[in-house]
Amino acid sequence: MTNEKTTSHSIKHHEAELSVWPPMVGLSSLLMIFGFMIAFQWKLPSMGMLVGGAGVVMLIISLFGWTSEVYKSSFEAGLSKTAIIVFILSEVALFGGLFGGYLYNMFPAPEWPPINTPKDVPPLGTALILSVFLLSSSWTIHKAEAHLEEGNTGGFKGWLFLTILLGGIFLIGQAVEWSSLIHEGFNVSTNSFGTFFYTITGFHGSHVLVGIILQVFILIIASRGRINRERPTIVRACGYYWHFVDGLWLLVLSLIYVLPSY
């Protein structure tokens, strides 16, 4: 690969690019929001589902259109690696705010978790088992990247698939844990621990989900032959993000599961 900087600067400059996809994504986000508002504020759930659903469909179409446009150009500047690190810093701030709020509520509380929390909450055992799956997926995605660097696209796809599988097991496990807890009568409204428990594990889980969607997406475009040794940036970016999500789990585990258990 030639020097990334000179590549980006020697782009043919007499052409101005137009793209329909940014305004389409903007519009689809507006539709999804109207969906929520119609369902929750104006109490018309089915109407809201319809509008919000249209927004989701439009979003998916737009994102595919967007990426195929990006992959039409014949070079990549490799700027996404810097960008994803910058973006992860903002995620640190988001979770910093949530954990800060959690500790802000925990320290003055006479008892943590509050007395009306059911006995086996938080379920530390389940969480520890799930950790094994999630943390080992950090290793598998690392293997996948190493294979890609060697030019072994087959090995890359195999290890990536394993990563998706491990992440998927984690998510399913967490969904099962949630539903059994709700069955026991521990939900978001039980007390402030319930509120924070579901919100923080839910925010983390949604990040796992985004990571998995990204990996599935990479697997799809890799099977179309668009990912190779020369264009590894999106894989690199996805790898950084996945390591961040895994590292974050350690914090969730220690603050939400371990700390209240002692």
Partner 1 sequence: MECSAHNKKCSGIKSWLFTTDHKKIAVMYLTVSLVVFVLALALAAVMKIEHWSGGKDIIDAKTYNVFFTIHGAGMILWWIIPVFTGFFANLLVPLMIGSRDVAFPRLNALSFWFFVAATVMAVLALVTPGRLDIGWTGYPPYSLQSGSNLSLYVFAVHMLGASSLASAVNFITTIITMRAPGMTWGRLNLTIWGIFGANIIQLFGIPVLAGAVTLLLFDKYLGTNFYNAAMGGSSMLYQHLFWFYAHPAVYVVALPAFGVISEIVSTFSRKKIYGYTSMAIAIMVITFLGFDVWIHHLFTKGVEDWARIVQSLLTIMIGVPTGIKVFNWLATMHQGKIEFRSPMLYAVGFITMFVIGGVTGVGNGLISIDLHVHDTWWLVAHFHFVLSLAMTTVAFAGIYYWFPKFTGRLYNERLANISFWFILIGAIFAFGPLFEVGLKGMPRRYWAYPHEFTGPFRVSVVGGYILIIGFLLTLINIIRSAFKGERTTANPWNAKSLEWTIPSPPPHYNFEEIPVITEGPYEFGKK
Cα–Cα distance for residue pair 48/31, rounded to 1 Å: 9
Q: Which is nearer to partner 1, 26 or 151 (CB)?
A: 26
At its nearest, how many Å lie between partner 1 and the CB of residue 239? 18
Q: From residue 20, how far is each of 58, 60, 134 by CA, in Å?
A: 12, 14, 38
Q: Name the residue among 180, 175, 170, 172 with its Cα closest to residue 118.
A: 180
Identify which of residues 91 and 177 has a Cβ nearer to partner 1 in the complex.
Answer: 91
Residue 212: CB minimum distance to partner 1, A = 21
> Considering only CA atoms, which of 122, 116, 75, 77 is closest in space to residue 253?
122
| Closest CB 66 distance from partner 1, rounded Å | 7
Q: Which is nearer to partner 1, 33 or 129 (CB)?
A: 33
Residue 196 or 257: the one with the smaller Cβ distance to partner 1 is 196
- Closer to partner 1 by Cβ: residue 61 or 219: 61
Is there a contact between 17 and 23 (Cβ–Cβ < 8 Å)?
A: no
Q: Nearest 5 degrees, angle CA 246-CA 229-CA 218?
A: 50
Cβ-based nearer residue to partner 1, 114 or 155: 114
Q: Which residue has the tokens 């294979």?
A: 147
Question: Min. distance of Cβ 42 from partner 1 in angstroms?
Answer: 9
**Shorter beta-carbon distance to partner 1: residue 130 or 235:** 235
Give the C-alpha distances (Å, rounded to integers) separating 252 from 85, 120, 167, 176.
21, 18, 16, 18
Peptide bond into 113 cis (omega under 30): yes
Query: Distances from the Cα of 242 to the Cαs of 63, 154, 213, in angstroms?
Result: 20, 21, 11
Residues that bind partner 1 (CB under 8 A): 5, 8-9, 11, 13-23, 25-27, 29-30, 33, 36-37, 40-41, 66, 69-70, 77, 79, 82-83, 86-87, 89-91, 93-94, 96-98, 100-101, 104-105, 109, 114, 188-189, 191-196, 198-199
Closest distance of CB 135 from partner 1, Å: 24
For the bound state, the minimum distance from the C-beta of residue 57 to partner 1, rounded and expressed in Å, comes to 17
Find the shortest distance in angstroms from Cβ 25 to partner 1.
Answer: 6
| 96 CB-near residues (< 8 Å, 6+ apart) | none
